[in-house]
Copies of this chain bind each other. A is one copy, B any other.
Amino acid sequence: MNISSDIRNLISNRRTGYTLPAAFYLSNEINLLDIDVIFGQHWIFVAVEPDIAEPGDYVKVDIGHNSVIIVRDDDMSIKAFHNVCRHRGSQLCDAQKGSVGNIVCPYHQWTYNLSGELIHNEHMGEAFDKSQHHLKPVHVGNIAGLIFICLADKPPADFEDMKAAMTPYIAPHRLADCKVALQEDIVENGNWKLTMENNRECYHCVANHPELLASMYEFGFGYQPSPENAEKVQEFRDLITSENNRWAACGLPSSEIDLLDGCPTAYRTQRLPLEKAGESQTMDGKIASQKLLGELTQRNLGGLSFWTQPNSWHHFMSDHIVTFSALPIDAEHTLVRSTWLVHKDAVEGVDYDINRLSEVWRATNKQDSNLVERTQRGVKSDQYEPGPYSPYTEELVEKFTNWYIQRLEIAIANKANVIPIKAAQ
């Protein structure tokens, strides 16, 4: 990608502690840079194992103008490929999810197996070398059932560090033994970074998210003691300490890891107490599904939160899991995919009610979507200028934007890594 001097200046002149200049939310050129550098060279959360439980199951994921299919191979391994036929370029799969024997292009029936190899096509003659026309592969990573992909030739190696650190936290919830109870896509009318910035703070929760705060403490999301709330924050920190000790004694690692800044594969995790019954992110704090996950026997495990950069957040409770991915559609639209998972043997209507399971986050998603949209409209003004982050509640937002700017800076400095965008598109 040929990066204009305007954009280089915007990146190098960015003022820390302040929101980004408007062009980062509006410019098509920067959006292509984001798709190229941020979504093209980092690990992106895209699915969970239960999305593709059986051989031949696939999910389609669109990242800007690129489309990828994630497939369960016959040997139960997970593969990912660019969703483009090597013949005339037709998309292979156009459903969001499905199940196939082989991957057959509907245009001229070029047929690829679940490992992406071109195994059959007609009318190409004997000299045609099928091995030169396999599907283009995409790297796959798997952390205890959370599936990530990386479009780069050489993915960041520190994914293995995140995997090693996070597996003990996540594994007890046995994601692979869950089923998808509900999956919902919403299109937010805003740049994907506004979606992420909104997700990285709870300053906005008290006035906007009554359902979420029915069970969640806002203080768990990057709060520092401020003149207004020093006492409450300290109380909450004491509660975390005692609960984390209790959960650790049950074999559940719970303490905070914060690597949101400074490395390519950036993340944060912490197991956080919940209010009321303390069991789950529901309106009364009680579990929403009667069948506890994996071999868990206690209900009141609070919520294990896991945030990744650039694009996901997850909450693991004793009874259910909610995962979220944010994917750019274009500079001004973002897909947010939410997935609610329960034990695979839980029976809808008996063990869980789908509305009770999902009401908190469905309401929260809608509220957040409105906030993202009105911010997208606001930053269009010629008179918008970057505003100051709260030093007490927006630390994680700043880590996100700092990480983002740093990743662009490194990609530009190391220009050889920047994939060229198609000429004249």
Query: Could you list which residues of chain A lie within 8 angstroms of chain B, going by C-beta atoms?
Result: 4, 6-7, 9-10, 19, 21-23, 26-27, 29-30, 36, 40, 65-67, 82-92, 94, 106-109, 122-126, 128, 133, 136, 197, 203-204, 207-208, 226-229, 371, 374-375, 377-384, 386-388, 390-394, 419, 421-425
Cα distance A419–B382 in the bound complex, in angstroms: 9
Chain B residues within an 8 Å CB radius of A40 = 382
Question: Can you sample 16 A-B contacts with CB below 8 Å?
Answer: A9-B423, A10-B423, A23-B422, A23-B425, A26-B422, A29-B424, A67-B381, A85-B387, A91-B374, A107-B374, A108-B390, A122-B203, A123-B228, A123-B229, A123-B394, A136-B383
Cα distance A167–B377 in the bound complex, in angstroms: 37
Report the minimal beta-carbon distance from A391 to chain B, rounded to whole angstroms: 6
Cα distance A30–B424 in the bound complex, in angstroms: 8
Cα distance A380–B32 in the bound complex, in angstroms: 12
Contact between chains at B371 and A106 (CB < 8 Å): yes
Given the known interface contacts A207-B106, A226-B125, the answer about A88 and B393 at a Cβ–Cβ threshold of 8 Å is no
Given the known interface contacts A87-B388, A228-B123, A375-B107, the answer about A382 and B128 at a Cβ–Cβ threshold of 8 Å is no
Given the known interface contacts A66-B382, A107-B371, the answer about A393 and B10 at a Cβ–Cβ threshold of 8 Å is no
Contact between chains at B380 and A65 (CB < 8 Å): yes
| Residue of A29, A92, A381, A392 most packed against chain B (CB within 10 A) | A381
Given the known interface contacts A84-B378, A371-B90, the answer about A123 and B393 at a Cβ–Cβ threshold of 8 Å is yes
Cα distance A30–B383 in the bound complex, in angstroms: 20
Given the known interface contacts A88-B387, A91-B374, A371-B107, the answer about A66 and B381 at a Cβ–Cβ threshold of 8 Å is yes
For A128, give the chain B residue with the smallest CB separation: B388
Count of this chain's copies in the oligomeric assembly: 3
Report the minimal beta-carbon distance from A152 to chain B, rounded to whole angstroms: 12
Chain B residues within an 8 Å CB radius of A87 = 387-388
Chain B residues within an 8 Å CB radius of A89 = 19, 22, 375, 378-379, 381, 384, 386-387
Cα distance A270–B228 in the bound complex, in angstroms: 61
Cα distance A40–B381 in the bound complex, in angstroms: 12
Chain B residues within an 8 Å CB radius of A19 = 88-89
Report the minimal beta-carbon distance from A202 to chain B, rounded to whole angstroms: 10
Cα distance A379–B67 in the bound complex, in angstroms: 10
Cα distance A107–B198 in the bound complex, in angstroms: 10
Contact between chains at A424 and B27 (CB < 8 Å): yes
Chain B residues within an 8 Å CB radius of A197 = 88
Cα distance A229–B123 in the bound complex, in angstroms: 9
Chain B residues within an 8 Å CB radius of A65 = 380-382
